Structure 1
């Protein structure tokens, strides 16, 4: 049975396209651009083809076409014009829309074909920064507004993780050339938001450092097992939901105790929970960063 999402509310369309619901209603009424169906309680619903059409219209609109002109374009010509624009200068927005559709429909083939098409002109690093990061930034909103379910989010993020891992593996056949630091990327216990850490691991390996990737939900006490073997360690972690505001200071103190017992190590931290730390109160070997780019600049 194929149970992909086929009907969307006007709020779903607003969240997926970025066009306000009020504007969508005006476009419907004034230009007859979309034809919603009505439920028994007179609520608008939209088909998947309506969503696809709106995403295409949005791309034209964002590239300077007036909505009055778009309304006069024969419907069959709109995808052709979109492809023409994409071939010139708007791959990013088209790809994000295609990835959204692949997510809504759990369509792995569409994800792969879209990814391979943008790789023709972009490096993996460009794809991640220009396409995946904006897409991931939107996922939180889409999930919070019930436009997508956790299953949708897990589907698309697992495919993105797969691409990071494949590109990292290509680099791991080469011996590390930088000896000043050994990075240990990990996530604390109960932390599973891994994409940012995986990508930073790719950047670390790309720059020729040795990386000992530990992954998700790592108990702090187990870090000593790495400290026993190496001296020049730099632990790298994302604090997205854990440790919480109430526990984060205790977590830092426990890490400081480990470094005293097993030798000095650095710690680089990112993520929402780090806002609860005062950088001025941290030891000099513990540093906080506001973004992936800040970490990359420091590598």
Structure 2
């Protein structure tokens, strides 16, 4: 069975390009930039070529090209102009579009080609902050809007994880230069959204600290074992969907009661931290609103 999603509704195009469906229809009718296909019941749909063309048109439009001018260009001229603009200005939007196309078509070769092009001009840190973080934010929205399936999300997340692991391995082989603290990184039980935590591991290692990376779905009891071997521990917990908002304060209190002591502290980051009561924040419990904020505090 072919698992590639190769047809799209106009709502899918809106979600993937950021161009409103109403505007897409106007562009079709007035400028003939896209030619939708029709089902037997006269519902319009689009193929991957149409998606790619719209993403290219969107980039040109963002850089000031009028849609009336774009519509008069020959089809092969549009991607050539996109490449020229990318080389002269910024690769960010083009890269995000390419990664989305890679995801939609399960095309790992396009992912690696796009990544390698970025890395020839930027550091891995710049690629992650400027491209991968905005990309994953968009993917979260696309998943919620049913434009992509969990398979798409897992596919692109896995490829990003590969790059994180390669870059982390490079610095993990070096001896730590900072010995005043040890960082333990983990996700709560049933939490599987690991990319942010993996990147924090990379940043902490880059700062010269030793880390113990426990990964996803870690029971609190597993944290107790580390107290037998180490002091001055900073526990870093990334919470995206777990624990649920009704349980997050109980979870923080359990860690405070069972894990934290005079030599340790808890750093919390992620979407669910907005539900942590202020009374649970202290000199031992810190909340960070972004990866950048946490990295600056290392």
Measured against the shorter chain, the TM-score band is: over 0.9
* C-alpha RMSD of matched pairs (Å): 1.2
- Does residue 192 of the first structure (1) align with residue 192 of the second (2)? yes
**Is the 1:279–1:288 contact (alpha carbons within 8 Å) kept by the matching residues of 2?**
no
Does the Cα contact within 8 Å between 1:231 and 1:263 map onto a contact in 2? no
Shift of 1:229: 0.6
Name 1:149's counterpart in structure 2. 149
- Structure 1 stretches lacking a partner, 5+ long: none
User: 1:11: which partner in 2?
Assistant: 11
Q: Distance in 2 between matches of 1:73 and 1:182?
A: 58
Q: Which residue of 1 aligns with 2:178?
A: 178
Instruction: Measure how far apart 1:263 and its partner are.
Output: 5.4
1:279/1:287 contact within 8 Å kept: no
SS of residue paired to 2:217:
strand
SS at match of 1:192: coil
The Cα shift of 1:24 comes to 0.4
Where does residue 140 of structure 2 map in the other structure?
A: 140
Partner of 2:282 in structure 1?
283
Distance 1:179 1:242 in 2: 31
Q: CA deviation at 1:9?
A: 0.6
State whether residues 185 and 215 of structure 1, in contact with CA within 8 Å, keep that contact through their aligned partners in structure 2. yes
Residue aligned with 2:179, SS: strand
Do 1:234 and 1:266's aligned partners in 2 also have CA atoms closer than 8 Å?
A: yes
**Alignment correspondent of 1:219:** 219
Contact 2:36 2:45 in 1 (8 A): yes
Q: What secondary structure, in the 3-state scheme, does the structure 2 residue paired with 1:268 have?
A: strand
Partner residue, 1:160: 160
Contact preservation (8 Å) 1:238, 1:269:
yes
Task: Give the Cα separation in 1 of the matches to 2:19 and 2:38.
Answer: 21
* TM value normalised by structure 1: 0.97
Partners of 2:235 and 2:62 in 1: CA distance: 42
Q: Deviations over 1:219-241 (max 9, x none)?
A: 01110111111111000011111
Aligned counterparts of 1:6 and 1:249: Cα–Cα separation in 2: 44
CA shift, 1:277, in A, is 1.2
**Contact 1:6 1:48 (C-alpha < 8 Å) held by counterparts:** yes
For structure 2, which runs of at least 5 residues remain unmatched after alignment?
none
Aligned with 1:212: secondary structure? Answer: strand
Please report how far the alpha carbon of residue 33 of structure 1 lies from its aligned counterpart in structure 2 after TM superposition.
0.5
Quote the offset at 1:216 in angstroms: 0.4
